[in-house]
Structure 1
């Protein structure tokens, strides 16, 4: 199982618009998605995380194609130099 995370750090003056866009856009996806807000971020501004759990790499690639280009384009055109995003993939490990 793979956890895919996109973190977005955005200036406080712009985070409301980004939050509304993300909620609207994520609802259109066929993949179950979680939207989180970091409570104790070490960075200035607001940090959001978009996460999915994927059982395989093909599901992960489908999700990346569905969200990453649109999110990157929206941030570049609407919040230029006010937001930064990065993504990461993590594998779940057994405690056994």
Structure 2
């Protein structure tokens, strides 16, 4: 099992709009790919960064599913995020393995 973590640091002014968009549109679209078995959205309370920090986490059963997502779905979904919130966030992605 793998955990795909996307950490986003958002401008304060974009945070509420982004949160609503994630819950209503983006996370359902990611889950509809069938590459992940579960997800969660967390707000970082002690972030040293300016703005608001969130972590979107998705659990994949295999590296094959994760790679399929990255190759076939992520470019379009990330482009949607970049278009809607251009210049209002910074994101970094991490892949982890459950031990």
Q: Secondary structure at the match of 2:12?
A: coil
Pick aligned residue for 1:54 from 60, 83, 99:
60
What is the aligned-residue RMSD (CA, Å)? 1.9
- Measured after TM superposition, the shift of residue 43 of structure 1 is 0.5
TM-score by length of 1: 0.79
TM-score by length of 2: 0.77
| Structure 2: unaligned runs, 5 residues or longer | none
- The whole-number CA distance in structure 1 between the counterparts of 2:48 and 2:9 is 11
| Structure 1: unaligned runs, 5 residues or longer | none
Taking structure 1 as reference, are residues 40 and 69 closer, same or farther at Cα in structure 2, changes over 3 Å only?
A: farther
- The whole-number CA distance in structure 1 between the counterparts of 2:28 and 2:82 is 21
Taking structure 1 as reference, are residues 81 and 44 closer, same or farther at Cα in structure 2, changes over 3 Å only?
A: same
- Measured after TM superposition, the shift of residue 68 of structure 1 is 5.7
Task: Report 1:67-82 matches (<5 A).
Answer: 67=74, 69-70=76-77, 72-82=78-88
